[in-house]
């Protein structure tokens, strides 16, 4: 028995560092990176300033309402005052962006509609690289989606008009 005890102690001393080594390896493994969402391809030109924009601006807010519209769409124009009112009521951590689908060819008209309706939130003329996503997301306009800070669609698309309270409620759920 006296000879077995030193052997057991020696084995325990040798095994403990190996067990700790395995645990250390597991703790240091990189965590999976959350993938970017559909609207991580957001790119284009600010309709007003003509600055280039990209999806990094989504990271400024926990949630962003994105409204896809066109100057040739009467329902879209009718929705702009509602979105201007929504902008004034946005909670902290929420943003709003308009994407003017025909903004490249009708830039002046788009600016006029925004000024006339008081919709002074960011409006983007989409880059050509966005067209496949926009055609898939919004075959009809006006279309509205709410995305998180990584561009994942968390609500929508919703077509047509909707009460401001519905948008606010949906955005607040994700703040």
| Per-domain residue ranges of the chain | 1-30, 38-173
The tokens for 100 are 């003017």
How many H helices and E strands in the chain?
5, 7
The tokens for 76 are 């879209």
38-173: CATH number: 3.40.30.10
pLDDT in tens, 129-139: 999 999 998 89
Predicted local distance difference test score (pLDDT) of residue 13: 42
Range 16-39 average pLDDT: 57
pTM (2 d.p.): 0.80
Look at residue 56 and tell me whether its pLDDT is greater than 50: yes
Host H or E run for residue 43: strand 43-46
């Amino acid at each position: 028995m006296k000879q077995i005890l030193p052997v057991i102690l020696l084995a325990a001393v040798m095994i403990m560092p190996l067990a700790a080594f395995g645990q250390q390896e597991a703790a240091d493994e990189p965590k999976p990176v959350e993938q970017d969402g559909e609207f991580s391809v957001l790119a284009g030109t600010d309709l007003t300033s003509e600055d280039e924009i990209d999806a990094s601006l989504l990271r400024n807010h926990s949630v962003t309402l994105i409204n896809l519209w066109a100057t040739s769409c009467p329902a879209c124009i009718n929705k702009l005052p509602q979105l201007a009112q929504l902008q004034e009521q946005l909670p902290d951590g929420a943003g709003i962006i308009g994407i003017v689908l025909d903004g490249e060819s009708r830039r002046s008209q788009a600016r006029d509609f925004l000024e006339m309706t008081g919709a002074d939130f960011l409006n983007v003329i989409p880059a050509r690289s966005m067209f496949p996503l926009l055609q898939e997301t919004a075959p009809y306009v006006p279309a509205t989606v709410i995305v998180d800070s990584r561009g994942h669609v968390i609500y929508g698309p919703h077509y047509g008009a909707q009460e401001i309270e519905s948008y606010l409620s949906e955005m607040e759920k994700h703040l």
